[in-house]
């Protein structure tokens, strides 16, 4: 082969191989592991990862809030360090110099002779949990079977605080179908008596734990009539009695009413056991009587009929008529003492009426007592 031809071939092959070697060695940087957001307590260490490849080996620079970050003269406390693989390491986040913070947006930048590569932004947050709750739970009263809602606005914090509730010092069982947690609120439905107690809202994150004030949930028992009035039949002039007993939490008050008008003035009595007694029954007393039990949780009623029958004898009828028609006259009113709110009221039966009543019924020692309360 001609020497000149051989040399041309040799130079061509060398040039091709040389060009291939240059192409293989010079590759621009590529970020293979991007940094991620981190939340760190003050004083704790932290790392923002960044790994790159390229040829020649890229140099790594970090930016904070778009500005180059000085790590060359890091003191190991305040200034972070770039590790050999390119990650940024903080020995003590937020510490070092008063008034300064490591919080910010960080970017990893890789460079070599073939080009530049930039990572995704990653934020470093200082973990915080404020002391004060934005909404403190307040006391709640509901009737048994209703829905109870306990509000809670946790303290501002980063990361977002986790919320749990305690009842009488113990965490509630969230698997219980009565409990629902919704945006910090505790919903109890339907509320039962055993749900009553002192509830505390607990907020926590990496910084620590905060507890709200205790809120009292009171589940009240609606009134229940354990003894209901029954229909009663009596003769004119006799006494009638209706029974009624109620229970509840708080204990209900019991009142009696009559559908046809007010209760017979001066002839009825409500006993401590809530029994209603009506004395010297007249025909006008007949009708429906209602027992009503009331407390803060609700109202319950029950009614019964009073039937009035004719008197057994003519003498009893006449006696009853005269007792019903007997009139009284005010004789005088005397104030016991100046400035006193106690008055003595003396009532006297008209003498002509009373003497006639005694003569007819041969009752010279009869006493009729009429009591009024002012």
Residue 31 Cα distances to 109, 119, 120, angstroms: 9, 6, 9
Q: Are residues 122 and 165 in the same domain?
A: no
Residue 49 lies in a domain: yes
- CA 166 – CA 199 distance, rounded (Å): 6
Q: What residues have CB less than 8 Å from 101, skipping those under 6 apart?
A: 94, 126
pLDDT of residue 313: 62
pLDDT tens across 223-250, in order? 999 999 999 999 999 999 999 999 998 9
Residue 6 lies in a domain: no
- CA 170 – CA 198 distance, rounded (Å): 10
Average pLDDT score over residue span 155-168 = 95
Rounded mean pLDDT of the chain? 82
Residue 317 lies in a domain: no
Range of the domain at 56: 28-126
State the CATH number of the domain containing residue 298.
Answer: 2.60.40.10
pLDDT tens across 61-108, in order? 999 999 999 885 555 567 899 999 999 999 988 854 555 789 999 999
Tokens 């002039």 label which residue? Answer: 237
Domain count, the chain: 4
Residue 38 lies in a domain: yes
pLDDT of residue 260: 85
Average pLDDT score over residue span 330-347 = 44
10, burial (CB in 10 Å: exposed 0-12, middle 13-18, buried 19+): exposed
pLDDT tens across 182-197, in order? 999 999 999 999 999 9
150, burial (CB in 10 Å: exposed 0-12, middle 13-18, buried 19+): buried
Would you say residue 213 has pLDDT above 90?
Answer: yes
pLDDT of residue 10: 46
Q: Could you give the count of Cα atoms lying within 13 Å of 338 in the half-sphere of its Cβ? A: 0
Q: Are residues 350 and 302 in the same domain?
A: no
DSSP string, 169-195: TEE--TTSTTEEEETTEEEESS--GGG
pLDDT tens across 10-65, in order? 444 444 444 444 455 799 999 999 999 999 998 899 999 999 999 999 999 999 99
For the record, the structure tokens of 82 come out as 């770039």
pTM, two decimal places: 0.62
Contact between 123 and 107 (Cβ < 8 Å): no
Q: Are residues 279 and 363 in the same domain?
A: no
**What band does 174 get if pLDDT is binned at 50, 70 and 90?**
confident
pLDDT of residue 350: 46
- CA 51 – CA 110 distance, rounded (Å): 9
**Of 197, 220, 243, which residue constitutes the final position of a domain?**
220
């Amino acid at each position: 082969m001609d020497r000149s031809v051989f040399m041309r071939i040799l130079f061509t092959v060398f040039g091709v191989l040389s060009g291939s070697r240059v192409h293989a060695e010079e590759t621009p940087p590529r970020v293979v592991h991007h940094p991620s957001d981190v939340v760190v307590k003050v004083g704790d260490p932290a790392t923002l990862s960044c790994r790159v490849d390229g040829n020649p080996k890229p140099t790594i620079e970090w930016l904070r809030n778009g500005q180059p970050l000085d790590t060359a003269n890091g003191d190991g406390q305040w200034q972070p360090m770039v590790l050999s693989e390119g990650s940024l390491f903080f020995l003590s986040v937020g510490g070092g110099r008063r008034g300064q913070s490591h919080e910010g947006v960080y970017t990893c930048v890789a460079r070599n002779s073939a080009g530049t590569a930039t990572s995704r932004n990653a934020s470093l947050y200082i973990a915080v949990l404020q002391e004060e709750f934005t909404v403190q739970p307040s006391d709640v009263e509901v009737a048994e079977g209703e829905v109870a809602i306990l509000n809670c606005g946790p303290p501002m914090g980063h990361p977002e605080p986790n919320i749990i509730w305690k009842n009488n010092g113990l965490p509630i069982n969230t698997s219980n179908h009565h409990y629902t947690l919704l945006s910090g609120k505790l919903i109890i439905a339907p509320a039962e008596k055993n749900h009553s107690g002192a509830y505390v809202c607990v907020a926590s994150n990496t910084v620590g734990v905060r507890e709200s004030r205790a809120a009292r949930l009171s589940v009240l028992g609606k009134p229940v009539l354990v003894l209901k009035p029954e229909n009663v039949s009596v003769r004119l002039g006799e006494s009638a009695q209706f029974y009624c007993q109620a229970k509840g939490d708080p204990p209900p008050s019991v009142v009696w009413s009559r559908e046809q008008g007010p209760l017979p003035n001066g002839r009825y009595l409500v006993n401590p056991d809530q029994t209603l007694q009506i004395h010297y029954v007249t025909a006008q007393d007949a009708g429906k009587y209602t027992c009503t039990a009331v407390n803060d949780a609700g109202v319950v009623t029950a009614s019964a009929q009073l039937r009035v029958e004719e008197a057994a004898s003519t003498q009893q009828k006449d006696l009853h008529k005269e007792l019903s028609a007997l009139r009284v006259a005010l004789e005088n009113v005397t104030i016991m003492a100046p400035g006193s709110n106690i008055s003595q009221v003396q009532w006297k039966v008209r003498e002509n009426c009373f003497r006639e009543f005694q003569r007819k019924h041969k009752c010279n020692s009869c006493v009729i007592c009429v009591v009024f309360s002012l």
